[in-house]
Amino acid sequence: MSIAAAPSRLERQKVRIRPMDAARTTGIGKPLTRLKAWFQRSVIEGILMKRQAERLYLVFGGHIFFQTLNAAARLDLFTLLRKHNGLTRDQICQELNIQAQPARILLLGLVSSGMLKKRRDVYRNTRLTNELLCADSPTNILPYVALQHHVMYRGMPKFFESIKEYRNCGLEEFDGDEETLYQRLAHDPEVEEVFHDSMSALSVQTNKILADFLDLSNVQSLVDIGGGDGTNIITLTAKHPHLKGRVFDLPSVANLAREQLAAHPNASRLGAVNGNCFEDDLPTDADCFLLAHFCTIWSPEKNKQLLKKCFDALPSGGRVIIFNMMQNNDETGPLSAAVGSPYFLTIATGEGMLYTWNEYEQWAREVGFAEVSSDKLPRDHGAIVAIKR
């Protein structure tokens, strides 16, 4: 019987310097493959791409997550949880008179998207949902949730066409033949009410910011162009007892505002003017024009035209205040600007968006305002104050 000679050192090295070949014949590569798989799973997917994947889910399922939120809002689940400081699933089913399976699906969506917290078996609101989605919170935005459902969902499927054709194709979903959503709302009082309720819910959120920030001690008469139902001028005149405030808005809206303002305790200092700011003259007895959530509706050209019209109607020392969410000057966000802009293109007018700080400042200077200042405010808002000298 012959005994094979032990491999020489050189032969042993040859085995070591050809690992791939060896793997094929001996299976030595399996640990390597497992290591690669672990690296892919744990490091690349688990750490490096996790946030990207989560974001993709939120975007991809945006309509699902919104409808989850909308269903919870319509069931008034957030108010219920606030009232009881948390409930189990069985208790939620009982209170809302819904079955366990749909409740599981709803609660899964709310917890995974961060709208609710779950600890052990108890579901609770987050701080934000407590403030924004409970019917008994004075700062709730429930009407804005209804607006998303009744207006955005109707028009936004036409975003693609609107990009291609650069017009508000989504407006075709609304009755009438006028060019803007604001004009067409007059044909549908139900949606018009949803719209103005949501605007005033947003104004409640933001006009406190405006009132805290604005120094109106030198202003006597303020006109809020596109002032809607008058929520802004009510807050501002309440804070400044010397101030008179008027809404300047399309006739159907100004008439609605006039009715509401007449019943207000400060009615003698409040009023409404019917008008289309591009077709009708602006009042010439005001020393301040407020453009709150208004410039976002229009194209850059129309905004410049409007600012020039304001400039011409103001006395020297008069001012324009632009107040809305702002886009970063480097055009990278914030999310609020990215979410808000497509609505103006697809539904509202086919031409507006949330512009950058620089654009507003430049337009104001171009039409003649000598002093232009900008202030960053909470909730991605900003104010540009332009004074005529």
Name the site residues for ligand SAM (rule: CB under 6 A): 180, 182, 199, 202-203, 226-228, 232, 249-250, 253, 276-278, 292-294
Q: Which is nearer to ligand SAM, 107 or 292 (CB)?
A: 292
Q: Which is nearer to ligand SAM, 103 or 282 (CB)?
A: 282
Q: Which is nearer to ligand SAM, 109 or 230 (CB)?
A: 230
Q: Are 345 and 353 in contact, with CB atoms under 8 Å apart? A: yes
Rg over CA atoms, the chain: 29
The tokens describing 337, both together, are: 């600007």
DSSP string computed for 131-149? HHS-TTSTT--HHHHHHII
DSSP string computed for 259-307? HHHHTSTTGGGEEEEE--TTTSPPPSS-SEEEEES-GGGS-HHHHHHHH
Q: Least distance (Å) from ligand SAM to the CB of residue 278?
A: 5
Q: Least distance (Å) from ligand SAM to the CB of residue 73?
A: 21
What is the distance between the alpha carbons of residues 41 and 34, in angstroms, rounded to a whole number?
Answer: 10
What element of type H or E holds 154?
helix 153-155
What is the distance between the alpha carbons of residues 226 and 216, in angstroms, rounded to a whole number?
Answer: 19
Q: Which is nearer to ligand SAM, 87 or 337 (CB)?
A: 337
Q: Which is nearer to ligand SAM, 227 or 245 (CB)?
A: 227
Q: Least distance (Å) from ligand SAM to the CB of residue 277?
A: 4
Q: Least distance (Å) from ligand SAM to the CB of residue 75?
A: 28
What is the distance between the alpha carbons of residues 129 and 43, in angstroms, rounded to a whole number?
Answer: 34
Q: Which is nearer to ligand SAM, 68 or 349 (CB)?
A: 349
Cβ contacts of 151 within 8 Å, gap of 6 or more: 181, 191, 194, 195, 347
Contacts 24+ apart (CB under 8 A), 59-63: 63/153
Q: Least distance (Å) from ligand SAM to the CB of residue 264?
A: 17
Q: Which is nearer to ligand SAM, 288 or 292 (CB)?
A: 292
Q: Least distance (Å) from ligand SAM to the CB of residue 381?
A: 11
Q: Least distance (Å) from ligand SAM to the CB of residue 296?
A: 7
